[in-house]
A = this chain, B = another copy of it.
Amino acid sequence: MTLTLGFLAQHLGAELRGDAHYQVDSVATLAQAQPHQLSFLSNSKYQSYLASCAAGVVILSPKDADAWQGNALIVPNPYLAYAKAASLLHPSIQVAEGIHPTANIDATAVIAADVCIAAGVVIGAEVHIGSGCVIGANTVIDRGVVLGQHCWIGPNVSILHHCVLGDDVMVESGSVIGSEGFGWAKDGERWVKVPQLGRVIIGDQVSIGANTCVDRGAIEDTVIESGVKLDNLIQVSHNVTIGANTAMAGSSGVAGSTRVGKRCTIAGMVGVAGHLTIADDVHITAMTLVSHSLTEAGVYSGNLPVEPNAQWRKNVARFRQLDAMAKRLKQLERSVHEQPADA
């Protein structure tokens, strides 16, 4: 796709500095970009790359604009403008056209006219698939599932019975929507399965990465609100609610019945325990265990940083003596401050 800078400036709401008729056809990094390409600078600490940059145009913010002499698209948020420009220059390509003859579609399924369904897809009874959806090869969409419009479902996905997806939902390869919640009642030494009768309800503009699992609810539903972005290999347990526009990074997880607020960011490998409430606008750093509710917005942590093993072993050994150390410290304080009386 070839676009003029004038078109891009208008589309991005950017101030154009340079030749409005100049054309670019793709994106590249500052270091790699050629004259036919667009690049961007969103973090001033990489400003030094501009000196030797050969890009045809650079998206940057007003404060970096003087550091670059070439064509510029000047915006308050260069990363956002880059995202939009890259989408224009590199439109995504559909993985399938029409309905492949090897797709197995139940006679009772209702499929909009312009849906693309790839080879080997299996679609169960009473499924509804909205206009503009694309379903990747060998994906399974179980009975009673509803997909809104313009959903993109990758290859080898499993969307299990009666789950409901809104519009513009993306689900990547290997993910499972509507797996059984982990609900077991003790019966002596044995576990008896608690039927998982709820569904997964997913809003609009939700994105779910690869090999992620969202369990169906036990009685009521598991809910992923609109605008949520989930990375790969995430575990969302039964009856969890993830609030609108929250983003969770790879290999994180939320245990059963926890409510995560809106606009939160949850970093990689974070674990949130069950039956908690996480407020809106909470940000949790990597590998933290969230073991109690967080009732106020803010940044929370719980990890320990890496150290050379030799140092680490010493500090860990001391950690195991920490309670004893605290008692010795208290005792010492008593000795020192009451010394006249003791002596």
Interface set of A (CB-CB < 8 Å, partner B): 27-29, 32, 77, 79-80, 82-84, 86-87, 90, 92-93, 95, 100, 102, 104, 118-120, 122, 124, 136-138, 140, 142-143, 154-158, 160-161, 170, 172-176, 179-180, 182-187, 189-195, 197, 205, 207, 209-213, 215, 219-220, 227, 229, 231-233, 235, 237, 244-245, 247, 249-251, 253, 255, 262-263, 268-269, 271, 273, 284-292, 294, 298-323, 325-326, 328-329, 332-333, 335-337, 339
Contacts A211-B176, A235-B251, A329-B325 given: A140-B122 contact, CB under 8 Å?
Answer: no
Cβ–Cβ < 8 Å partners of A292 in chain B: 305-306
Other-chain contact of A235, B100, B232, B307 (Cβ < 8 Å): B232
Q: Is the CB of A83 within 8 A of B172?
A: no
Cβ–Cβ < 8 Å partners of A212 in chain B: 211
Q: Is the CB of B291 within 8 A of A289?
A: no
Q: Count identical subunits in the complex.
A: 3
Q: Which residue of B lies closest to A321 (CB)?
A: B326
Q: In the complex, what's the smallest C-beta–C-beta distance from A204 to chain B, in angstroms?
A: 11
Contacts A205-B190, A235-B233, A286-B273 given: A307-B314 contact, CB under 8 Å?
Answer: no
Q: In the complex, what's the smallest C-beta–C-beta distance from A5 to chain B, in angstroms?
A: 19
Q: Which residue of B lies closest to A300 (CB)?
A: B306
Q: Is the CB of B187 within 8 A of A179?
A: no
Contacts A185-B77, A271-B268 given: A193-B207 contact, CB under 8 Å?
Answer: yes
Q: Which residue of B lies closest to A340 (CB)?
A: B343
Q: Is the CB of A160 within 8 A of B173?
A: yes
Q: Is the CB of A213 within 8 A of B213?
A: no
Q: Give the CA-CA distance A86 to B192 in the complex, in Å.
A: 11
Cβ–Cβ < 8 Å partners of A329 in chain B: 325, 328-329, 332
Contacts A104-B100, A245-B190, A290-B306 given: A184-B229 contact, CB under 8 Å?
Answer: yes
Name 24 A/B residue pairs within 8 A (Cβ), A-sorted. Answer: A80-B187, A86-B194, A95-B142, A136-B140, A140-B155, A154-B179, A174-B174, A179-B209, A213-B232, A235-B250, A235-B251, A237-B250, A251-B253, A251-B271, A253-B269, A255-B286, A290-B306, A292-B306, A300-B312, A301-B316, A304-B319, A322-B322, A335-B336, A336-B336
Q: Is the CB of A306 within 8 A of B288?
A: yes
Q: Is the CB of A333 within 8 A of B328?
A: yes
Q: Give the CA-CA distance A317 to B322 in the complex, in Å.
A: 9
Closest 7 CB pairs of A and B: A158-B173, A179-B210, A140-B155, A314-B323, A122-B137, A299-B309, A104-B119
